Amino acid sequence: MARFIFITGGVVSSLGKGLASAALGALLQARGFSVRLRKLDPYLNVDPGTMSPFEHGEVFVTDDGAETDLDLGHYERFTGVHARATDSVSSGRIYSTVLEKERRGDYLGKTIQVIPHVTNEIKDFIAIGEDEVDFMLCEIGGTVGDIEGLPFFEAIRQFSHDKPRGQCLFMHLTLLPYLSASGELKTKPTQHSVKELQSIGIAPDILVCRSEHPIPEKEREKIALFCNVRKEHVVPAYDLKSIYEAPLAYHRQGLDQAVLDAFGISPAPRPNLARWEDVMDRLTNADGEVRVAIVGKYTQLEDAYKSIAEALTHGGMANRVRVKAEWIDAEIFEREDPAPHLEPYHAILVPGGFGERGTEGKIKAAQFAREHEIPYLGICLGMQMAVIEAARNVAGLTTAGSEEFDHEAGKKRFEPVVYHLKEWVQGNHKVERRASDDKGGTMRLGAYDAALTAGSRVAQIYGATAIEERHRHRYEVDIKYRDALEQEGLCFSGMSPDGKLPEIVEWSDHPWFIGVQFHPELKSKPFEPHPLFADFIRAAVETSRLV
């Protein structure tokens, strides 16, 4: 039966609970334990699938088709454990489930209340798969004191009460602000945060204290005294040059040892940190640098493309180079010549997105990469824009476009080279969708197989002709244009197993130009870079030597 670690936050948001959870999971793995990580989010959206990237950042997609918080990406990248739909839940999902049960009459006419019905639903969710791993790490979104989070805090309090003593642990992440005028770190916000947590019946076992300055011994003793934790369980968390330093940094500060001590696990297995030492060696001892332009539409918030940024870093590790990724707003190219903006870069990446804004700029970026023989990776919408560019400028379909961008009923501006996906095969059954369906959870989501053309560039990169990748899209390249485009050299080198849905395109006469309908960045890890990103950066390295 699993031991449970509940990770909460206080004082301010964005302190790095997700990163701390992921790093702790990696450290427990390094000591030989199996782990699974979960995220409990207090917002009322059922999931983040319909939330703007500016609101919430990236939507991370699991193999089984769940749209989840981007922290699940951290969990996967640090532990290698594939996330599942049962690893992410929101208040919206919990309340929706409770209300569905009430409508069915499952509660036998009882008055539905937050306690016990909502809290019981949360506890049931936490307990899913508890017999599968040694440690279950559950991160609670937001900060203690948020009104939306109260049912979750009450649920984990009850959960720890229901379990045998010593099976649950509470880890609280706080901030120690530094006042430059007095030259002091202030512990009072942490004390108040812990007091707030204690007021709802939760006493933290471990405090992780974020700080930009070293925490003096006397301050650790003060925090331990007033927050009622052992001094060894007050763990500093300092700013790092790379997130991938976190496992080694937390180990140096004794976080994993504090956790094992709190559970009474003695003697503790010795950690094998060779994986993370190798990761940091590749990061800190790079042999050069390449510049990659990411031409997107959500460039104001880098978290909107979090997995892409990390996958590029992983590709750099595979080639022992630093990747300097720079964000360019695609709308700029709708007003200006892209050449002066893109010429300084060794490679171009066009990521996914929704809606028409910025798409003409993405098409121009694909055209620049094709004509100037610069390595190009188009992901999801980035593949569709590359196909539209080829249709317009090479195959002579000058009005080529996407059905997604024809908004006015009865008026067609574009030849729909990209169309709204109406049906596809998932497992052993057919899925059907209409444009009028609800937006949430109705896309082609999760892992799907693809068949690669033998001898194609992608088959060489993967070293296989059958792959599985994760999808998140509702528009698809129309297969009826395949022959016309292939006659001009755009090879459809990856298809769905039934041959109906294009998965990958590549220019056969280009040094490196690939578009993929899926999201390869979601499966990349620092110790296992995705082959597409590793080869993309390899091609960028070659370009940098030619420049």
Q: For residue 449, what are the contacts with CB-CB under 8 A and spacing of at least 6?
A: 466, 467, 468, 496, 497
Whether the link from the prior residue into 216 is cis, omega within 30° of 0, is no
Give the position of tokens 């609970």.
Answer: 17
Strand pairing of 490-495 and 444-452?
antiparallel
Detail the DSSP E strand segments found in 407-489: 415-420, 423-426, 429-432, 444-452, 466-473, 475-477
pLDDT in tens, the chain (547 residues): 899 999 999 988 888 999 999 999 999 999 999 999 999 999 998 888 777 766 767 899 999 999 998 999 999 999 999 999 999 999 999 999 999 999 999 988 899 999 999 999 999 999 999 999 999 999 999 999 899 999 999 999 999 999 999 999 999 999 999 888 888 899 999 999 999 999 999 999 999 999 999 999 999 999 999 999 999 999 999 999 999 999 999 999 999 999 999 999 989 899 999 999 999 999 999 999 999 999 988 766 677 889 999 999 999 999 999 999 999 999 999 889 999 999 999 999 999 887 778 889 999 999 999 999 999 999 999 999 999 999 999 999 988 888 887 754 445 677 888 888 765 466 655 555 555 555 555 788 999 999 999 999 999 999 999 999 999 988 899 999 999 999 999 999 999 999 999 999 999 999 999 999 999 999 999 999 999 999 999 999 998 876 5
519 is a catalytic site residue: yes
- Please give the DSSP secondary-structure letter assigned to residue 514: E
Radius of gyration of the chain (CA): 25
The rounded distance, in Å, linking the Cα atoms of 227 and 222 is: 8
Among residues 29, 37, 520, the alpha carbon closest in space to that of 276 is found at 29
The rounded distance, in Å, linking the Cα atoms of 205 and 5 is: 10
Which residue(s) pair with 323 in the sheet? Answer: 290
Q: Which of 314, 503, 521, 530 is catalytic?
A: 521
Among residues 245, 259, 265, the alpha carbon closest in space to that of 23 is found at 245
Q: How far is CA 190 from CA 180, 207, 222, 235, 288, in A?
A: 18, 9, 11, 13, 42
Token pair of 469 as six digits: 């990748």
Q: How far is CA 69 from CA 57, 224, 501, in A?
A: 8, 32, 28
Q: How far is CA 160 from CA 151, 165, 228, 248, 290, in A?
A: 14, 8, 18, 29, 49
Q: Which of 138, 380, 389, 491 is catalytic?
A: 380
Question: What element of type H or E holds 51?
Answer: none
Token pair of 497 as six digits: 């197993």
Pair 122, 152: CB distance under 8 Å: yes
C-alpha atoms less than 13 angstroms from C-alpha of 1 in its C-beta half-sphere: 6
**What pLDDT is stored for residue 424 in this prediction?**
47
CA 300, chain centre distance (Å): 17
Q: For residue 462, what are the contacts with CB-CB under 8 A and spacing of at least 6?
A: 452, 531, 532
Pair 494, 458: CB distance under 8 Å: yes
Sketch out the chain's domains with CATH numbers.
Answer: 3-279 (3.40.50.300), 286-546 (3.40.50.880)
